[in-house]
Structure 1
Amino acid sequence: MSDNQFKYSNSVIVIPLVFVLSLWFVFWLEIRFDFDFDENGILPRTFSGLQGILFSPFIHSDVSHLYHNSIPLLVLLAALRYFYRQQTVVVIGYGILFSGFITWVIGRENYHIGASGLIYVLVSFIFFKGIQTQYYRLVALSLTIILVYGGMIWYAFPKVDDTISWEGHLAGLITGFVLSLLYKTAEYKKVAKYDWEQPDYNPLEDKFMQRFDENGNFVNIPVLEENEICDFEEMN
């Protein structure tokens, strides 16, 4: 498949905007009506805490927490939709479910909230999938992702910052990597236009190449075989 599959559509902008606006709407509801949605987050290894697998990405502690998650989500969701159109829904959906469940299993006994787990899913998926395709545009995207967001890796380890859910970050990295292995993308190959670009090309059988010796010097035109002479006469 060629670059033609990378086509811009309104969904590249709409999907990230709708998703991020939904986060801000939930936060507005919490402020406006004095709700406390923290208890709807992930509470590890408790039955009631399972609800947080679905709800936690939409719950944030304050404006700063929400703001710092919104910008990466806008960028990463747009990149996901543009470069991995067919995988967008499954990466977002299963990314939330699987990273949330892993957090529920390994997390500390505290409420885990925020969309940072999904951010780590997106970073991990886009990076590893680009490397796996070995396609120059997607590899370049992977390198860009690691340059911009590579520093986030430290927040997937304990003791770096006790105020964040490093378990959710680690769960996101694991989930993104697994999804990059499970969901295949099209093979990105350059379309062969010339004979020498074909995989079975043999220069010894090329009539043009036979006009040159092993040192690259021009030699006499090879003698046409009888059947080739007949073909040539028929063409004329």
Structure 2
Amino acid sequence: MQTVERRPAWQQAALLTGGFVLLLWVLEIFDAASGHPLDEYGVQPRSEDGLLGVVLAPMLHFGFDHLVSNTVPVLVLGFLTLATGIARGLVATAVIWVVGGLGVWLFAQPGSTHAGASVLIFGWIVFLVVRGFLNRHTTEILIGVAVFLLYSGALLGVLPGQPGVSWQGHLFGAIGGFLAARLLTTRVRSESRITY
């Protein structure tokens, strides 16, 4: 009987993240070549059709400039989210994806359409910064500090002000990242003890 060797987590993380970015590019190439029919599948706040965007929006972009600006952060932050635990990273991504999408659907201005992987980017930033401190894990704290130093300026994107940018997607992605870090805390909490 042959034993199948599993790839190290960092290799799996690289393959998954690279595959996801490849998917983003294939979708945008198709969208551009066919007259941008996918653009309408973003999150459309409080519309029944717009709920489909909760699932699809992080994979769709409004042109190549939008996708190019998200590509490197997705590669870096997606890899770091998965590299210290594939299952935990995938669950964190799912929480960010759903919380970010539903937050936009519930609270963004009606008549707008929101798409782009930045909902994941903002969620991953917050997840990576917060999880190490919650877990009290040295490697994760160092990763979080490095991510904060690299991307702290981007966190201002959760504030309204830049036309055409979904600050709601950024804000609710970040909230999803915080919730994911809280839900996936692995540190064993000591029970409270009262002495008399």
TM-score (norm: length of structure 1):
0.73
Q: Unpaired segments of 5 or more residues in structure 1?
A: 1-6, 188-236
Deviation string 1:127-163 (CA, Å, 9 cap, x unpaired) is 110111222221111110110000011110112x122
Q: Unpaired segments of 5 or more residues in structure 2?
A: 1-7, 189-196
Rounded to whole Å, the distance in 2 between the matches of 1:180 and 1:99 is 14
Q: 38-47 or 83-92: which moved more?
A: 83-92
Check the 8 A contact 2:9/2:85 in 1, yes or no.
Answer: no
The offset of 1:124, in angstroms, is 0.9
> Residue 40 of structure 1 aligns with which residue?
41
> Residue 204 of structure 1 aligns with which residue?
none
Rounded to whole Å, the distance in 2 between the matches of 1:185 and 1:34 is 46
- Larger-gyration structure (1/2): 1
Query: Equivalent of 1:157, from 150, 156, 159?
Result: 159
Name the CA shift for 1:165/1:116 in 2 (closer, same or farther; >3 Å): same
The offset of 1:118, in angstroms, is 0.7
> Residue 52 of structure 1 aligns with which residue?
53
Q: Which structure has more RCO (C-alpha within 8 Å, separation ≥ 6)? A: 2
> Residue 78 of structure 2 aligns with which residue?
77
Matches within 5 A, 1:128-147: 128-147=130-149
The offset of 1:45, in angstroms, is 0.9
Report the 3-state secondary structure (helix = DSSP H, G, I; strand = E; otherwise coil) of the residue aligned with 1:108. Answer: coil
The offset of 1:92, in angstroms, is 1.7
The offset of 1:72, in angstroms, is 0.5
Q: What count of residue pairs does the alignment treat as equivalent?
A: 180
> Residue 4 of structure 2 aligns with which residue?
none
The percent of aligned pairs where both chains have the same amino acid is: 27
Name the CA shift for 1:8/1:175 in 2 (closer, same or farther; >3 Å): closer
The offset of 1:186, in angstroms, is 5.4
> Residue 96 of structure 2 aligns with which residue?
95
Rounded to whole Å, the distance in 1 between the matches of 2:126 and 2:97 is 13
Q: 144-153 or 127-136: which moved more?
A: 127-136
TM-score (norm: length of structure 2):
0.87
Report the 3-state secondary structure (helix = DSSP H, G, I; strand = E; otherwise coil) of the residue aligned with 2:144. Answer: helix
Q: What is the letter of the counterpart of residue 115 of structure 1? A: A
> Residue 175 of structure 2 aligns with which residue?
174
> Residue 119 of structure 1 aligns with which residue?
121
Q: Say what the alpha-carbon RMSD is for the aligned residues.
A: 1.4
Name the CA shift for 1:22/1:163 in 2 (closer, same or farther; >3 Å): same
Deviation string 1:28-49 (CA, Å, 9 cap, x unpaired) is 1112222321211111011111
